[in-house]
């Protein structure tokens, strides 16, 4: 489909259902929990209004919190990443505000793309697990779960990106 509004709605619903039905039930070795719903923020068009991204990210996080009974950790961490996404683009990918109009993920190199994905995923996971534990004495379990889950999520998001998004271009 060529309609970006329909594509974003389908991406929102698809990631929500996959996270609720499949990925919330994966817990490998007690540390590997994939959260590929962050792909919604990564793939959201950079030319769109920021307020639409913030509202839809909050709704995605709130929906996940409702089904996972997680008390707002998904909504808070997604909202943080959505708010600072353009800052990360500017810092990591060296893009400026004037370039956002024509910027697309498929125009950057593989290593920068993976690094960009990994930084967003790592920060999201650290915030989410930090809010989930909310105890400074649990810093090592937070770091361990953050690193392992981030790598697992990165593999899933990268595979999905090249399978579904980049193959259309």
pLDDT digits (tens, 9 = 90+) for 137-156: 889 999 999 999 999 999 99
Distance between CA atoms of residues 75 and 45, nearest Å:
20
pLDDT at 164: 78
pLDDT digits (tens, 9 = 90+) for 41-82: 988 887 767 889 999 999 999 999 999 888 899 999 999 999
pLDDT at 70: 87
Distance between CA atoms of residues 146 and 137, nearest Å:
15
- Mention every residue, 6+ apart, whose C-beta is less than 8 A from residue 124: 35, 38, 77, 78, 80, 81
With 0.75 as the threshold, say if the pTM is over it. Answer: yes
Residue 87's pLDDT band (cuts 50, 70, 90): confident
**Burial environment of residue 49 by CB neighbours within 10 A (0 to 12, 13 to 18, 19 or more):** exposed
**Which residue did the predictor score with more confidence, 132 or 31?**
132
Domains of the chain as residue ranges with CATH:
4-168 (1.10.1760)
User: Three-class SS of residue 101?
Assistant: coil
Q: Give the phi and the psi of residue 101 in degrees, each rounded to 5.
A: -65, -40
pLDDT at 159: 93
Distance between CA atoms of residues 96 and 157, nearest Å:
25
Average pLDDT estimate for 84-101: 73
Q: What percent of the chain has pLDDT over 90?
A: 47
């Amino acid at each position: 489909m060529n309609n970006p509004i329909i594509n974003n709605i389908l991406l929102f619903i698809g990631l929500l259902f996959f996270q609720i039905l499949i990925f919330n039930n994966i817990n490998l070795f007690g540390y590997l929990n994939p959260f590929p719903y962050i792909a919604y923020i990564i793939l959201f068009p950079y030319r769109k209004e920021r307020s639409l991204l913030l509202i839809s990210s909050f709704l995605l996080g709130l929906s996940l919190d409702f089904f996972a009974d997680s008390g707002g950790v998904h909504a808070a961490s997604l909202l943080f990443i959505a708010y600072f996404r353009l800052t990360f683009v500017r810092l990591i990918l060296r893009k400026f505000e004037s370039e956002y109009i024509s910027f697309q993920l498929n125009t950057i190199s593989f290593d920068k793309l993976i690094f960009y994905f990994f930084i967003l995923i790592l920060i999201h996971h650290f915030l989410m697990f930090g809010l989930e534990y909310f105890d400074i004495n649990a810093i090592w379990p937070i770091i361990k779960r953050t690193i392992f889950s981030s790598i697992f999520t990165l593999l899933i998001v990268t595979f999905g990106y090249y399978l579904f998004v980049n193959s259309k271009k």
